Amino acid sequence: MIAQIALDTPGLPLLDYLLPEGVIAHPGDWVVVPLGRRRVVGLVASVGTSADRSGGRGFELKAVERVCEDLPRVGQSTLDLYTFAAAYYQRTLGQVAATALPGWLKTPKVHEHGRSRPSRLRQLLSGTSVSEASEDGQTPQESPTPSLAAKSLPPLNEEQVQALEACLRESRPLLLHGVTGSGKTRVYLELLAEILARDHFAQALVLVPEIGLTPAISARIQEAFPNESLEVIHSGLSERVRATAWLRAATGRARILVGTRTAVLCPMPNCKLIVVDEEHDHSYKQQDGLRYSARDLAVWLGHRLSCPVVLGSATPSLESRAQAERGRYARQRLTLRATGAPRARTRIVDLIRDRPQHGLSEEASREIERALTRGEQALVFVNRRGWSPVLCCDACGWRQQCPDCSVPMVLHKRRSNWRLICHHCARQLPPPHACPECSSTDLQTAGQGSQRIEEALIERFPHARLARLDRDAVASPAALKDTLDRIERREVDLIVGTQMVAKGHDFAGLRLVVVADADAQLANPDFRAPEWLFATLIQVSGRAGRHDKGSDAGPSGTVLIQTRTPSHAMFVALEDGREDTLESYWGALLREREEAGMPPFGFLAAIRVSHAQADRAERGASEIFSHLLALISAGNRPVRAYAPVPRVPERLAGRTRWQVLLESSQRPALQQLLGEMAAALTAFRALEVHVEVDPLSLT
């Protein structure tokens, strides 16, 4: 017999190995095989007889060394998920399997065992045997009947009841659109109770976008289900802890799995519910290796398993909104804040009139002063995400946009000349010497002013205790917890934070939020930037005055947004603040995308290359571009390839980076072209080439 094994080898399809006498393997088994001089763990994709596989082969096949009997066999639905992900994201099945399997379990050594000595995995999971588990859900349960510790929970309100019923009734994914504090988690808990009670083997997967959010949600779930086995998976855990959690989920022992994006790839033999919390969050898209969207795979998996999928968010993504409009997702609104706290008031600060000092306006300074005097906490929100050099007028707020695409153009230095380049259509323009609107020569790249905001705050409020909440300052989950605890204990007066603060953390003493540089995000050349900014500003506003009980408990929260374009429709909507006004701005954003043929109304893929030598990267990109044009015209495909553009930053880690963007209104046509291109790309080995399907960013 011959087994086709999926190995973590980029570009290589399945490899054939001989199954020696007495070694029995099935699709979904993990095996140890020799590869070159190494021994590696791979996944059996299929098994055939030698007669129909070995014909014409002029060399001897290597043999499978052992089947990892301590790892549960991957079931058909999970194999299907891996196969789909590999095809869709233009990777090999082996690369998907390698992403799914925790690192420690990829070491052949841990699977070794002697006659009397169990493997290290079995020792790890000692007390229970692993091999008895299968995807038919025959694993014996350790826990008694599931019980929701309902006494400690508030009763569901009418909207929550409707959401629960919709989710259990619907065959479509449910978009649970609930304002901050409306009790989405309460709905998840009730769903878990229902699903776990129906079936004694049932498992549930709960995805969150960030490691930092796992402790809070897993604690809430465990508290509600004290008798249920819950495991957490994310990349911040030690190898062994992660491997154990993975094994417990993959053998059906863990009934609830909470995790970040890789958890969606963890095999769960009896998964009956998938929750994707904060579904709009871009962290669900993996940015290196297998560049997949965990949210999109969760929806695919839910469909494959015919199990309920809930996508929860206070600010649903335009993708999910479009799916709800098309009727592919059901939608339930939660409009009542469970805490009864009123929404924070938003005020726009016009930076043309109130000139900022190092990024801080006089009005913002005064409000911070006032908050500190009252003993409240203040948050200054700085947006450093995806910063690109885009020309803006400091005097009137004008921004250089592509005349064809209405997206900001990016400043690049090309052969000692500065050029403005559109990252969508690749159009180039010379930079203007003066602002075309007001003739001011004070043109700057957006976001410059806010770089020094932390120093400005220290200078202005020397006695305030300041904490930074961003990826640089808070590198580990432990450091994050420490900072959050200090904020909670009121040992911090002023918080300077990036997008990290917008994510679900709860600050009881916070009443004032200052958004320092909204303009820098409006000047972001990515078509998703306005959506992302709007969602972030709504999320950040949700942090202010969240625990206010109304007027008698003092003033409610305040949000100040500093901008040079106060009349921008987004800021007008935020200042108005009413739910229907915000919704109609979401509608406007969706129509803009539709008119531009951008996702979710069109489909994109980027082919990205890099090389240590600048000219070789550029040449490689144009060769790939020519190749694409030839394929497109030969096949008469409804796909458009745009000329190569340098990425932002052009040079990173000693390599020059370029990309070619592909666009189509038909997903299959784009997928087909990428499939044909895959073979051609192997000729560009000298470059580091990767394909990004559904890229989040155009830069």
Distance in Å, CB of 674 to Zn ion, minimum: 23
Distance in Å, CB of 639 to Zn ion, minimum: 18
Do the beta carbons of residue 283 and residue 210 sit within 8 Å? yes
Instruction: Indicate the residue among 438 and 683 with the shorter CB distance to Zn ion.
Output: 438
**404 lines the binding site for Zn ion (CB under 5 A):** yes
> Considering only CA atoms, which of 497, 518, 496 is closest in space to residue 392?
518
- DSSP state letter for 550: S
- Contacts of Zn ion in 599-638 (CB under 5 A): none
The binder of Zn ion chosen from 273, 275, 305, 435 (CB under 5 A): 435
Do the beta carbons of residue 203 and residue 272 sit within 8 Å? yes
Reported as type and span, the H/E element at residue 657 is strand 655-664
Name the burial class of residue 688, with classes exposed (0-12), middle (13-18) and buried (19+) by CB atoms within 10 angstroms of its CB. middle
Instruction: Indicate the residue among 103 and 403 with the shorter CB distance to Zn ion.
Output: 403
Tell me how far apart the alpha carbons of residues 642 and 695 are, in angstroms, rounded to a whole number: 15
Distance in Å, CB of 423 to Zn ion, minimum: 8
**564 lines the binding site for Zn ion (CB under 5 A):** no
Residue tagged 């969602």 (tokens): 535
**652 lines the binding site for Zn ion (CB under 5 A):** no
Segment contacting Zn ion (CB under 5 A): 74-82, 424-432, 603-611, 615-623? 424-432
Segment contacting Zn ion (CB under 5 A): 311-319, 428-436, 523-531, 691-699? 428-436
Instruction: Indicate the residue among 594 and 676 with the shorter CB distance to Zn ion.
Output: 594
- Contacts of Zn ion in 437-466 (CB under 5 A): 437-438, 440
- Residues 676, 678, 684, CA angle at the centre, nearest 5°? 130
Instruction: Indicate the residue among 409 and 560 with the shorter CB distance to Zn ion.
Output: 409
The binder of Zn ion chosen from 225, 246, 398, 532 (CB under 5 A): 398
Q: What crossing angle do the helices spanning 362-373 and 453-460 adopt, rounded to 10°?
A: 50
> Considering only CA atoms, which of 617, 646, 143 is closest in space to residue 428?
646
- Contacts of Zn ion in 249-308 (CB under 5 A): none
Segment contacting Zn ion (CB under 5 A): 117-125, 385-393, 543-551, 654-662? 385-393
Instruction: Indicate the residue among 405 and 480 with the shorter CB distance to Zn ion.
Output: 405
Instruction: Indicate the residue among 424 and 511 with the shorter CB distance to Zn ion.
Output: 424
Q: Which two tokens stand for residue 468?
A: 């930074």
The binder of Zn ion chosen from 61, 336, 395, 614 (CB under 5 A): 395
End-to-end CA distance of the chain: 48
The binder of Zn ion chosen from 208, 341, 402, 590 (CB under 5 A): 402
Name the burial class of residue 351, with classes exposed (0-12), middle (13-18) and buried (19+) by CB atoms within 10 angstroms of its CB. buried
- Residues 262, 264, 268, CA angle at the centre, nearest 5°? 120
Instruction: Indicate the residue among 78 and 563 with the shorter CB distance to Zn ion.
Output: 563
- DSSP state letter for 151: G
Do the beta carbons of residue 518 and residue 384 sit within 8 Å? no
**352 lines the binding site for Zn ion (CB under 5 A):** no
Tell me how far apart the alpha carbons of residues 348 and 545 are, in angstroms, rounded to a whole number: 18
**324 lines the binding site for Zn ion (CB under 5 A):** no
Instruction: Indicate the residue among 164 and 410 with the shorter CB distance to Zn ion.
Output: 410
Do the beta carbons of residue 512 and residue 544 sit within 8 Å? yes
Tell me how far apart the alpha carbons of residues 233 and 105 are, in angstroms, rounded to a whole number: 14
Instruction: Indicate the residue among 435 and 605 with the shorter CB distance to Zn ion.
Output: 435
Distance in Å, CB of 647 to Zn ion, minimum: 16
Instruction: Indicate the residue among 422 and 681 with the shorter CB distance to Zn ion.
Output: 422
Distance in Å, CB of 407 to Zn ion, minimum: 6
Tell me how far apart the alpha carbons of residues 536 and 515 are, in angstroms, rounded to a whole number: 10
Distance in Å, CB of 565 to Zn ion, minimum: 11
Distance in Å, CB of 436 to Zn ion, minimum: 8
**393 lines the binding site for Zn ion (CB under 5 A):** yes
Segment contacting Zn ion (CB under 5 A): 141-149, 156-164, 420-428, 481-489? 420-428
Segment contacting Zn ion (CB under 5 A): 138-146, 430-438, 476-484, 664-672? 430-438
User: 204: which residues sit within 8 A by CB, 6+ positions away?
Assistant: 192, 195, 196, 255, 256, 257, 271, 272, 273, 274, 275
Instruction: Indicate the residue among 95 and 697 with the shorter CB distance to Zn ion.
Output: 697
Segment contacting Zn ion (CB under 5 A): 37-45, 395-403, 630-638, 656-664? 395-403
Segment contacting Zn ion (CB under 5 A): 336-344, 374-382, 423-431, 453-461? 423-431
**425 lines the binding site for Zn ion (CB under 5 A):** yes
What is the number of other CB atoms lying within 10 angstroms of the CB of residue 326? Answer: 9
**596 lines the binding site for Zn ion (CB under 5 A):** no
Q: How far is CA 82 from CA 10, 63, 77, 99, in A?
A: 15, 24, 9, 10
The number of residues that bind Zn ion (CB under 5 A) is 15
Q: Which two tokens stand for residue 368?
A: 């911070």
Site pattern 119..158 for Zn ion (x: CB under 5 A): ----------------------------------------
User: 141: which residues sit within 8 A by CB, 6+ positions away?
Assistant: 200, 201, 255
Q: Which amino acid is at 203?
A: Q
Instruction: Indicate the residue among 292 and 527 with the shorter CB distance to Zn ion.
Output: 527
SS3 40: strand
> Considering only CA atoms, which of 480, 170, 161, 118 is closest in space to residue 309?
170
**422 lines the binding site for Zn ion (CB under 5 A):** yes
Reported as type and span, the H/E element at residue 33 is strand 30-35
Distance in Å, CB of 699 to Zn ion, minimum: 13
**405 lines the binding site for Zn ion (CB under 5 A):** yes
Distance in Å, CB of 527 to Zn ion, minimum: 10
Tell me how far apart the alpha carbons of residues 106 and 99 are, in angstroms, rounded to a whole number: 10
Max CA separation in the chain (angstroms): 85
Q: Which two tokens stand for residue 71?
A: 């790892």
Distance in Å, CB of 406 to Zn ion, minimum: 8
Instruction: Indicate the residue among 18 and 443 with the shorter CB distance to Zn ion.
Output: 443
Q: What crossing angle do the helices spanning 667-681 and 76-88 adopt, rounded to 10°?
A: 80
**424 lines the binding site for Zn ion (CB under 5 A):** yes
Instruction: Indicate the residue among 231 and 663 with the shorter CB distance to Zn ion.
Output: 663
Instruction: Indicate the residue among 202 and 698 with the shorter CB distance to Zn ion.
Output: 698
Tell me how far apart the alpha carbons of residues 698 and 696 are, in angstroms, rounded to a whole number: 7
**410 lines the binding site for Zn ion (CB under 5 A):** no
Tell me how far apart the alpha carbons of residues 380 and 494 are, in angstroms, rounded to a whole number: 8
Instruction: Indicate the residue among 165 and 437 with the shorter CB distance to Zn ion.
Output: 437
Which residues here bind Zn ion, judged by CB under 5 A?
A: 393, 395-396, 398, 402, 404-405, 422, 424-425, 427, 435, 437-438, 440
